[in-house]
Structure 1
Amino acid sequence: MISIAPDRSLFADESALQAVRYLVGVDGGGTGTRLRLSDLDGRLLGQGEAGPSALGQGVDQAWRHIEQALQQAAEQAGLAGPQGLRHAECALAAGLSGANLPAACSEFLASQPGYAAVIVVNDGYTTVLGAHGGQPGAVVASGTGAVGEVLRRDGSTDCISGWGWITGDEGSGAWLGLKAIRHAQQALDGRAVPGPLAFAVWDLTGRSRESVLAWCAAAGQHGFAQLAPLVFMAADKGDAVAQRFVDEAVTELEALARALDPQSELPLALAGSIAKRLESKFSGNIRARCVEPQGDSADGALHLVRSALNAKMGSR
């Protein structure tokens, strides 16, 4: 069932692949990077975390943070130092936000620091593999961004949403943050009545036109996503505008779930802080299909690289 587009992977020749001793699974988003290191049999050896590795924030940054997370994992595994973990002994799969852009994937593969194998796919794909153990199912993932991924019973896959925080990712943290800043701007202009949400945003950005503009210019996807908790806190305080934004997020994520599985027959896993926070607000049919994920995107990346390596080399 596991398939990889030809332009999403880079493998050394067979003799070099024989030297692979370790598997690396990466989950990289707009907020942070999580990495797991295992042996060829899937036994976990170490884990690491670092800053964001979404491709939309730059390939150099992505590799820098992946390498930082790998160093942590290697230290946990007792493989640190010059004679410890070598790139040539590792096969890596990375589920990265923004990997739906072919040019970014090509640059990522061309910049890789010497791994025996590298696979790069969208983090939604590794999330669905991890959530359902490689079996058919759907995932609605909403954290900094939002994306839905499905692995159908016939082996086909589909990706819904995930268009990026500027024009899409409805129901995500950055999407909520954009709504929050627009409301704060309108309240500052006198076009809306300020309430708990506007005041909370102003506490962060300042209350002058100049300070708000400066904050927006520097914020980026991660900065806007940091406003999402303010929306939830304001809704809890009875702010009607914030509550409307929360309700709209529920509507968007439910629409995503239905688009992934129109027949409503596959198990549905939720990933990301926003999706998990909103689960209790979903309608009965969607909530009834929700299952606890078996693993996360980093687990899915390990599943992917192990399957791909076995396919290249035969069962090992």
Structure 2
Amino acid sequence: MNTDFFLIGIDGGGSGTRVVLGDAQGRELAQAAAGPSGLGLGVERAWQAIAAGCGEAFERAGVVLDWSRCVLGCGLAGVNNRDWLSAFLEQAPAVAGLAVESDAYTTLLGAHGGEQGVIVALGTGSVAAVLNEAGECRSVSGYGFPSGDEASGAWLGLRVIVHAQQALDGRVPHDELAQALLAHTGAQDRDSLVVWLCEADQTAYARLAPIAVAHREHPFAARLLGNAGMEVGKMIEALDPSGTLPVALCGGLGMPLRDFVPQAFQARLREPLADSAHGGMQLARREAGRLAS
């Protein structure tokens, strides 16, 4: 392997980007974070976020960023859209190597250390995947906002804001949940909430999810979180009907939603060994080995 390489693991979603910088042997040098790089928010924006995160990581490591010495392993939301992926590859800087997979695959690599297992990644979006004996990845969910990505932050936000709408109309009480939602959006009345709704994207809706979690005792939020847990169970069942593989709940909503996953799956839940960015580092190391062979 070329020892002049730097290996970079990238985890890019709709809420943010995480970067892990390592040397040619995969020894970690620094971590950094940047804005969203999920491809659904735009390919140019994705590369801007990745460049910002990489720049910060190199700065923290005390090394000058030189793209020609970098091998990137990227796990990105939205790569299942072939047009977005093609545009992403076309706009790449002149790096030494670039491997791009879904964030589900890099999450799998990180969570189970490359071994068999199931992941349910719950962030701005959601996707679940299994790694089988042959090392092949199969996914469910992840169809994207607004119709898919069940149990994700955007899915939760899109549904919980309905309570604020109904409270403004007097259809339900103007209670603490409604007040918290309206305070977050900055809306005081029907018209100002409509303005917020018309401008909101998946990231904006996902930022409402912590409000639902914080008000988990509220009947409306409790039903919604319960439904999210049921959706997680359906993903696990679809990927591992035998009910034998370990399951890692990953992403920012993995831990908050754990208690809402049906009891039948609770005994199989495991903490992820590492995150998607570290899974991206494994991908980068594999790519570097391929380049050296």
- TM-score normalised to structure 2 length: 0.94
Deviation per CA, 1:176-226: give whole Å up to 9, x if none: 111112222233234444433222222233232210111112221111111
**2:104 aligned with 1:124:** yes
Task: Please say if residues 145 and 162 of structure 1, whose CA atoms lie closer than 8 Å, have aligned partners that are also in contact.
Answer: yes
Aligned to 2:210: 229
* TM superposition shift of 1:273: 2.2
* Superposed displacement of residue 248, structure 1: 0.7
* Aligned match of 2:38: 54
The one-letter code matched in structure 2 to 1:199 is Q
Match of 2:193, as an amino acid?
Answer: V
**1:107-153 deviation per Cα after TM superposition (whole angstroms, max 9, x unaligned):** 11110111011122111110001111111111011121111011111
Identity %: 42
How far the C-alpha of 1:297 sits from its partner, in A, is 0.3
8 Å CA contact 2:73, 2:287 repeated in 1: no
Q: Which runs of 5+ in 2 are unaligned?
A: none
3-state DSSP of counterpart to 1:35: strand
1:155 corresponds to 2:139: no
- Corresponding position: 1:254 with 2:219: no
* Structure 2 counterpart SS, 1:273: coil
Moved more, 163-172 or 192-201: 192-201
Q: Compare 180-189 and 42-51 and name the one that shifted more.
A: 180-189
Which range moves more in the overlay, 203-212 or 252-261?
A: 203-212
Deviations 1:216-239 (A, max 9, x none): 122211111111121122233xx2
Instruction: Write out per-residue CA displacement over residues 261-307 of structure 1, whole angstroms, 9 at most, x where no aligned residue.
Output: 11111111110122211213323342211222111101111111211
Amino acid at match of 1:179: R
Alpha-carbon RMSD? 1.7
Aligned residues: 292
Cα distance in 2 for partners of 1:204, 1:75 equals: 34
Write the letter of the residue equivalent to 1:300. Answer: G
What amino acid sits opposite 1:259 in the alignment?
Answer: A
Gaps of at least 5 residues in structure 1 are 1-16
- Cα distance in 2 for partners of 1:229, 1:85 equals 36
| 1:150-229 paired onto structure 2 within 5 Å | 150-205=130-185, 206-229=187-210
CA shift, 1:156, in A, is 2.2
In the alignment, does 2:220 pair up with 1:241? yes
TM-score with structure 1 setting the length: 0.88
CA distance in 2, matches of 1:240, 1:196: 12
CA distance in 1, matches of 2:14, 2:261: 25
Match of 2:280 among 288, 301, 306: 301
Is the contact made by 2:18 and 2:33 (CA closer than 8 Å) also made in structure 1? yes
Structure 1 residues 79-102: Cα deviation after superposition (integer angstroms, max 9, x where no partner): 1xxxx3311111101111111111
AA of the residue aligned to 1:288? A
SS at match of 2:29: strand
* Partner Cα separation in structure 1 for residue 10 and residue 88 of structure 2: 13
1:20 CA drift (Å) = 5.1
Q: Distance in 1 between matches of 2:16 and 2:32?
A: 11
> Partners in 2 of 1:213 and 1:77 — Cα distance?
46
Alpha-carbon deviation of 1:76? 1.9
Distance 1:259 1:164 in 2: 18
Residue deviations 1:152-183 (CA, integer Å, cap 9, x gap): 11322111111112111111111111111222
Contact 1:52/1:65, CA 8 A, preserved across alignment:
yes
Letter of the structure 2 residue corresponding to residue 139 of structure 1? I
Partner of 1:142: 122
Structure 1 residues 284 and 208, CA gap change in structure 2 (3 angstroms):
closer
Contact 1:124 1:159 (C-alpha < 8 Å) held by counterparts: yes
Partner of 2:258: 279
The SS at the match of 1:186 is helix
Q: Tell me, what secondary structure is at the counterpart of 1:163?
A: coil
Q: Once superposed, which parts of structure 1, at least 4 consecutive aligned residues long, lie more than 6 Å away?
A: none
Whether the aligned pair in 1 keeps the contact of 2:230 and 2:260 (CA below 8 Å) is no
Distance 2:144 2:278 in 1: 24
